[in-house]
Structure 1
């Protein structure tokens, strides 16, 4: 068992958990400001913040599963760090974009691009390792 690979996966799980908490709190603050309890209440700012939170919920769990399986299948800690760091940076930039009323489009594009790239590489890596062990 490669403890450092598991520790690296745990690090990125924790950091991405904090990103999710940030998005949760940002959504709650906008809800409170506009007094909307359910849905977006037709408030464009709330819709935007909720969409950023939903996108994180759609992407973060699968990446964390892939990092955990990569560690379990023997991936080196450096591979977990490269993928985890790129993914986490992308998610943070993406979250920044959605938690601000006006944000540069490059933030969204960078966050999306890094998420897709790292999930793809991690999925292919885990698939390759899993098939090699069958």
Structure 2
């Protein structure tokens, strides 16, 4: 049974909703119903949201599989905190104008670290 992964999945879902609301608000503000309308602010808000969507589900799935294989709570919490921190830092750093490049970079590094460590843990636990 999963008990750690759902906590991080829920926190990440809240961040997803916040990023979604930013997209909706920007669309309403700029009266853009489809695409980015050639508006760079709209494009930035959309890409911040899209980047989250591109990486987070796969990472959460990997962490859930690690948990289902009986990994320690310490490893699971480290993976969850690394992913959550990475996604928060990336969204904040990339979503700012001008962007805060170092936060964006650290955010991606942490996201990749969570995915890579979870992938390796899955292989080790499965074999």
1:127 positional shift: 1.6
1:128 positional shift: 1.6
CA contact 1:23–1:99 (8 Å) conserved in 2: no
Name which of 111, 119, 122 aligns with 1:126. 122
Q: Which residue of 1 aligns with 2:85?
A: 89
Name which of 55, 68, 76 aligns with 2:51. 55
Q: Please give the root-mean-square deviation of Cα atoms over the aligned residues, in Å.
A: 1.1
CA contact 1:90–1:111 (8 Å) conserved in 2: yes
Paired residues, number? 127
| 1:33-112 correspondence runs (5 A) | 33-112=29-108
C-alpha separation between the residues in 1 aligned to 2:94 and 2:24? 14
C-alpha separation between the residues in 1 aligned to 2:3 and 2:41? 37
Scaled by the length of structure 2, what TM-score is found?
A: 0.95
CA contact 2:9–2:60 (8 Å) conserved in 1: yes
Q: Which has the higher contact order (CA 8 A, sep 6+)?
A: 1
Structure 2 unpaired stretches of 5+: none
Matched, 1:10 2:6: yes
Structure 1 unpaired stretches of 5+: none
